[in-house]
Amino acid sequence: MQKLFFVDVCNTLANIIEQLNIRGYRTDIYPCPAPPETYTEELFRSARPIWPVIDWVKELPEQGYSLVYLTARPSRFRAVTQEWLDEYGLPKAPLLHTNGRSKGEVAKIFSLNPKVQIAGALEDSPQEIRGYIQAVPGIRLYVPEWEYNAHLSGDGINFLALRQRTA
C-alpha cells in the first residue's frame, strides 16, 4: 500500500510571508489582505526556503512515504513553483494545483483508492487544516508554526518549529 503525504508550498517550504512583508503588506492578519496581482512569478521565485521544514520533508521518502506537492497557487505559476522545488533539492514528486478546491477535498479523492493510505499532510493554513480534518478523519497534520495558526489544537495536529538554519 502506498503511504501518501501531502506537502504544501507557501509558508511551509517557501517563506512567502517574508516577501509580503518586504512589499509592505500586513501579514499579522490572515489571510494577508494583499491583492491577487501581488502574487507574481518574481515574488514566488524570491521566497527564501524554510530550511527546518525542507530538511524534514527530505526525510519522508527515506521513511517510505510518497509525496504529493499540493498548492493553492494558480496553475499559471506551475513552472516557477517546480523550478523553486528543484532549486532547493526537494524530492521529486507530483505537483498538483487545487484549482479552487480545498486540499481536504483533493486528499479525499486520493483516499478512495484502496491502494493508497493517506499518511499525513504538511500545511500552514488554518482553513486548509480544517478542510483536511473534515475530509480525511484521523489524518496526521504537521503544521509549521506561525502566529496565525498557533491557536490550532486537536488530535493529529503537530507543530513544527521554524528556527532557521544558516545556508
Question: Does the pLDDT value for residue 136 go beyond 60?
Answer: yes
Shortest CA distance to 14 belongs to which of 90, 76, 68, 65? 90
CATH number of 2-160: 3.40.50.1000
Residue 164 predicted with pLDDT over 80: no
> pLDDT category, 28, cuts 50, 70, 90?
confident
Q: What is the pLDDT of residues 45-81, one digit of tens each?
A: 999 999 999 999 999 999 999 999 999 999 999 999 9
Sign of CA dihedral 3, 101, 79, 41: negative
| 145 vs 167: CA distance, rounded Å | 21
Instruction: Give the span between the Cα atoms of 88 and 30, in whole angstroms.
Output: 27
Is this prediction's pTM over 0.85?
Answer: yes
Which residues, listed in sequence order, are joined to residue 120 by a DSSP beta bridge?
5
pLDDT in tens, 91-105: 999 999 999 999 999
